[in-house]
Amino acid sequence: MARLFVNVDHVATIREARKTLEPNPLSAALLAERAGAHGITIHLREDRRHIQDNDVYNIKQGITTPLNLEMAPTQEMVDLALKVKPYQISLVPEKRQEITTEGGLDVISQEEVLSGIRQKMHANGILFSLFIDPDLEQVKACQRIQADSIEINTGTYTELDSSEAIKLELDRIQKSCTQARELGLKVFAGHGLNYHNIKAIAQIEEIEEFNIGHFIVGQAVYVGMENAVKEMIRNIEMARGQKI
């Protein structure tokens, strides 16, 4: 069965524009849960541009669904995760100058470091996921370091215009998902997904979890968080052909 995790980072982005107390990402997370979200995702960036440390603790304590904490593979973030003890961490690459995450983690070049982080997380009962581009060699590297899951970066797919390029990228995604499942990895997907482009991704049966934030928060400005989440769930269900 597919699951939707709602990322509430950009609720904090709006708040940080004025450095005030509102809007509160925890309040948005609770509304997302009420609308049927299966979990909440937040990304604590090293530059603290949106989610702040106290948000991580408040959201972990305040929600009733699992917390997926996205973070860079740094000692600072590892230490914080071990204090917070989220349901799962998802390691992502970070660059200070980027507007948003620009690509997947290069697992191959840092297998030893990532394996060490995985061991620490597992010792504390925390699931370990890696955000990667749809690349077969990266998938194999994730299996070698015994990750619990991968999250396929759908960013490139969502930015393509031509039907041929979209078809080729979907094929890359499908092959990576198939291989990951064969290697015993759980498969998630996210980045740039909206009501329209989620449909082809949701039809990939190996994908069991979707992480979607920016579009949902944007839609919430018009229709409210609960309605935006419910509509995303409806689109996933229609594409999937099953209730989630």
Catalytic positions, written as ranges: 43, 70, 191
Of 62, 108, 70, 61, nearest in space to 91 by CA: 70
186, 149 contact by CB (below 8 A) = yes
Cβ(38)–Cβ(61) below 8 Å: no
178: tokens are 């198939």
- Distance (Å, rounded) from C-alpha 85 to C-alpha 125? 8
Tally Cβ neighbours within 10 Å of residue 26: 21
Contacts of 27 (CB under 8 A, 6+ apart): none
